[in-house]
């Protein structure tokens, strides 16, 4: 679970529209809790929360470090809006959107399939200048993130940023080799990897993981003999009051997402993790930091 990082903020402003064929996909249904929120988080937000002209900002002065992306960074919905309005791509766009509510590995697979399908349809419609611009914006965003982190190792950012860097390098290499489809595909995938570290996605993931951990805890509490060790797993150290606090924090996190405040959602989910990891019912350090987050 995330832990408090260095208290350091280095926003990056690197000058740089937010922005899927009739392919069939096999996908598990997203969790109902999250599926209803995705339109607000990704489409309603315009695919980015920064003003035009800003590609990416790195926020490390928070319990869980995050990335904030600009509307100019390429995205599947953005390209559909810009180049495919007259095409039947609504189902493909919905697959991409819903994928963010799935467990990470499955979401990655679904998005990769959606991007590849989109590229087959839209790549011929992009002129050379536009394609080069998409790859350039990804490259500049990656350079901005790298400069902002400046050697910092932050668990919530390391994996997405590394994966984005690999995809971005492939996009540049494909463009140089004249592989237009490859350049567009990898530019979109690089952007999507960066989105894995945005407050919206991290909040969704942390809420889901905490709820699953809480279910395991409550099952072991009601039937200690079923624990993997054959003895009580420690669930009795969590009182009803503690579990009620965790539930309230998770409910508050979901409410914050619905209200379009992913930063607050992420903070509430992080406090819930603190209570879940605590070995006693005394005030956890995270509660003392911001006790009001427990409220409605």
Instruction: List the single range of 7-11, 52-56, 265-269 with lowest mean pLDDT.
Output: 7-11
Residue 8 lies in a domain: no
Instruction: Give yes or no: residues 71 and 189 share one domain.
Output: yes
- The secondary structure of residue 237, as a DSSP letter, is G
Please state, in angstroms and rounded to a whole number, the distance separating the CA atoms of residues 59 and 45.
18
Q: What is the pLDDT of residue 170?
A: 98
* 154 shares a domain with 245: no
Picking from 215, 273, 262, 214, the residue whose alpha carbon sits closest to that of residue 100 is: 262
Of 196, 213, 247, the last residue of a domain is 196
Report pLDDT for 287: 46
pLDDT in tens, 160-172: 999 999 999 999 9
Least confident of 57-61, 135-139, 141-145, 197-201: 57-61
The answer to whether residues 48 and 187 belong to one domain is yes
Stronger pLDDT, 186 or 215, i.e. the higher one: 186
Q: What pLDDT sits at residue 194?
A: 96
Q: Provide the pLDDT confidence category of residue 291 given band limits of 50, 70 and 90.
A: very low
Q: By residue range, what is the domain housing residue 281?
A: 201-294
- pLDDT higher than threshold 70 for residue 293: no
3-state secondary structure of 119: helix
Q: Say yes or no: 104 and 147 in one domain.
A: yes
* C-alpha span between 44 and 29 (Å, rounded): 21
Would residue 21 count as lying in a domain?
no
245 and 145 within one domain: no
Question: For residues 220 and 282, what is the distance between their CA atoms, to the nearest angstrom?
Answer: 21
CB 270 within 8 Å of CB 2: yes
pLDDT classification of 285: cutoffs 50, 70, 90: very low
pLDDT exceeds 60 at position 120: yes
Mean pLDDT of the region 254-261: 92
Q: Convert the pLDDT of each residue in 7-19 to its tens digit.
A: 223 333 222 222 2
What pLDDT score was predicted for residue 186?
Answer: 98
User: Comparing 63-77, 139-153, 277-291, which segment has the lowest mean pLDDT?
Assistant: 277-291
**pLDDT of the residue at 173:** 98
pLDDT for the residue numbered 106: 95
Average pLDDT over residues 177-203: 96
Number of domains composing the chain: 2
Confidence of residue 197 (pLDDT cuts 50, 70, 90): very high
Q: What is the pLDDT of residue 50?
A: 54
CA distance 50 to 28: 32
**Cβ-contact 189, 167 below 8 angstroms:** yes
Among 48, 39, 38, residue whose Cα is nearest residue 74? 48
Is the pLDDT at 95 greater than 90? The verdict is yes
Partners of 10 in beta bridges:
58
Residue 225 DSSP symbol: G
Mean pLDDT of the chain: 77
pLDDT at site 57? 86
Average pLDDT over residues 260-287: 76
**pLDDT tens per residue, range 226-249:** 444 444 444 455 678 888 899 999
Domain boundary among 136, 167, 196: 196
Q: Is 231 within a domain?
A: yes
Please state, for a pLDDT cut of 70, what percent of the chain lies above it: 70
pLDDT at 202 over 90: yes
- Judged by average pLDDT, the poorest of 38-52, 230-244, 248-262, 266-280 is 38-52
Asked if the structure places residue 15 within a domain, the reply is no
Are 264 and 154 members of one domain? no
150 with 260, same domain: the answer is: no
Main-chain dihedrals φ then ψ at residue 54, nearest 5 degrees: -115, 125
């Amino acid at each position: 679970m995330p832990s408090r990082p260095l208290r350091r903020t280095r926003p990056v402003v690197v000058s740089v529209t937010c922005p899927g064929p009739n392919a069939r996909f096999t996908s598990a249904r997203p969790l109902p809790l999250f599926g209803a929120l995705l339109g607000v988080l990704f489409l309603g937000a315009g695919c980015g929360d920064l003003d035009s002209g800003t590609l990416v900002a790195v926020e490390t002065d928070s319990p869980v470090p995050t990335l904030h992306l600009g509307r100019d960074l390429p995205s599947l919905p953005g390209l559909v809006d810009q180049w495919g309005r007259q095409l039947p791509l609504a189902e493909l766009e919905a697959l991409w959107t819903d994928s963010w509510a799935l467990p990470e590995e499955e979401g990655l697979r679904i998005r990769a399939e959606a991007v590849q399908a989109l590229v087959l349809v839209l790549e011929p419609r992009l002129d050379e200048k536009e394609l080069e611009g998409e790859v350039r914006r990804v490259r500049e965003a990656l350079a901005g993130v790298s400069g902002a982190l400046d050697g910092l190792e932050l668990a919530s950012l390391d994996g997405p940023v590394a994966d984005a860097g690999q995809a971005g390098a492939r996009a540049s290499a494909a463009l140089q080799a004249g592989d237009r489809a490859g350049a567009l595909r990898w530019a979109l995938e690089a952007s999507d990897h960066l989105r894995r570290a945005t407050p919206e996605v991290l909040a969704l993931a942390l809420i889901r993981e905490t709820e699953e951990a809480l279910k395991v805890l409550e099952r072991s509490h009601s039937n200690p003999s079923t624990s993997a060790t054959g003895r009580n797993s420690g669930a009795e150290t969590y009182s009803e009051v503690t579990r009620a606090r965790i539930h309230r924090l998770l409910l508050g996190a979901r409410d914050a997402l619905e209200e379009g405040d992913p930063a607050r959602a992420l903070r509430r989910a992080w406090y819930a993790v603190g209570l879940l990891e605590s070995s006693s019912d005394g005030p956890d350090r995270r509660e003392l930091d911001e006790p009001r987050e427990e409220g409605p």
